[in-house]
Amino acid sequence: MPVHSHSDGNHTPPGVKGIHGRGAGHNPDQRFAELHVDYEPGEAPDRVATKFLRDHSSSIIARHSSPDLPFEASLNPYRGCEHGCAYCYARPTHEYLGFSAGVDFESRIMVKENAPALLRAELLKPSYKPVTLSLSGVTDCYQPIEKKLRITRGCLEVLAECRHPVVLITKNHLITRDVELLAELARHHATAVYISITTLDSELARKLEPRASSPKMRLEAIRLLHEAGIPVGVSTAPIIPGLNDSEIPALIEAARSAGAQFAGYTVVRLPFAVKDVFRAWLDQHFPGMRDKILSRIEETQGKTMSHGEFGKRLKGIGVWSEQTAALFKVSLKRAGMLHRRPEVTAEAFRRPKDPGGQMELF
C-alpha cells in the first residue's frame, strides 16, 4: 500500500516496523492539513526512494533576529535532509511546502541549483554589507546529494573569492573535499567549522542518524581540517537525556585528540511533529527507555517538548540541564578546549567578479 502524508500522528502505522535507511518510520500529521503530498503508487511502505525537486527561490540569504543563534544570516542550498536524524528540529520546516516532517523531510529534498549564482548576485549589490553566514542554518549542506550536485562547493567558491565570513556545521566527512577553499578563507580569518558528533557508538549513530557519516569518519574530518589550518571544533549536539548524555567526556576527549580546538552543545528539543517522529523512533529502537527519555526531555523543556522562551530551549532548565552544563564544562577544562570558537571577520571582504554585468541563473 502507498504511504500517505496523513497517518495517526502518534505511532508508527500498524504493520510498519520502520522504513529501511530512514530515521523517521512514518509521516505524522502536519500542521497545514490541506496541503499534503502522497507517495507514488508502488512505493513500498518499508522502502521510500529519495526524490530531488528544484527549489525556485529568488533569494539565498536568510536573515533572522533570534537571540539563541550565534549568527545573523544563513545560507541553505537544500531544504530537507537525507541524513534522516530522528531528533532534527528542522523537520517542521518541510510542512510549509506541503510535505510531512516525517519521512518526507528526508526523502523529498528541495535543491537550490542556482544558489551560487544567487549568492554572487547578492554580494554584488552596492548595498550589501557582509555579516557572518551560517552554512547551513537549517539542514546539512553536505548531505549525500552534495557529492554529485556540488552546490555547497559552488557557494564556497564564491565566498572564498570574496573572503566572506562563514561558519559551517556538518556531520558529513564530505566537507573534507573542500578543504582548499576553507583553508583560503581561514587565511583571512573568515571561517570556522563545527563537526557534529552525537555519539561515538557507531550502532547508535546508524539508528539515530542513518545516512550521516560514521563517528569515526567525522573524527577523521576534524583531523584533516585541523591539519589544513582550519579552525575546527565539535558540536556534541543534541544531548539526549538517558541516551547519549553519559558520553560527553568521551566525545570531548575524542574530538580533542583529533584536533578540535573548541566545542559546543545543545540539549534536545522536539518542536511540533518532531516529538511524534522521535517517539516512534524510540518505540522502534528503545521501547523500554521511551517513557524515561521523553519524561526527562519534558522536564528540561519546561513541561513541554520544546521550550517557548529564548535562552532556555537550547540549554534546557532544571537539575538535569544544570548537571549537563557542569559535566560539559569540566570535560572542556580537562581537554584544554575552548567553549567559544575563534571570531571570524569580514575585514578582508571584497566584491565578487561580475561576469559580463549580467547574472545568468541556472
Residue 359 pLDDT > 90? no
Residues 172-200, mean pLDDT to the nearest whole number:
98
301 burial class (0-12, 13-18, 19+ CB within 10 angstroms)?
buried
Domain boundaries, the chain: 51-335
Quote the distance between the C-alpha of residue 156 and its chain's center.
18
Instruction: Look at residue 361 in the predicted model and tell me its pLDDT.
Output: 43
Q: At what angle do helices 115-124 and 151-162 cross, to 10 degrees?
A: 20
CA distance 187 to 144: 28
pTM of the model: 0.88
pLDDT band at 21 (very low <50, low <70, confident <90, very high): confident
pLDDT in tens, 27-69: 876 654 444 555 565 554 457 899 999 999 999 999 987 777 7
Whether CATH 3.30.1330.30 fits 51-335: no
Query: Under 8 Å CB-to-CB from 256, ≥6 apart: which residues?
Result: 335, 336, 337
Q: At 24, is the pLDDT very low, low, confident or very high (cuts 50, 70, 90)? A: confident
How far from 193 is each of 24, 158, 232, 287, 340, CA to CA, in Å? 28, 17, 5, 35, 12
| Type of residue at 255 | A
H/E stretch holding 167: strand 166-170
Q: Residues 199, 247: contact at Cβ < 8 Å?
A: yes
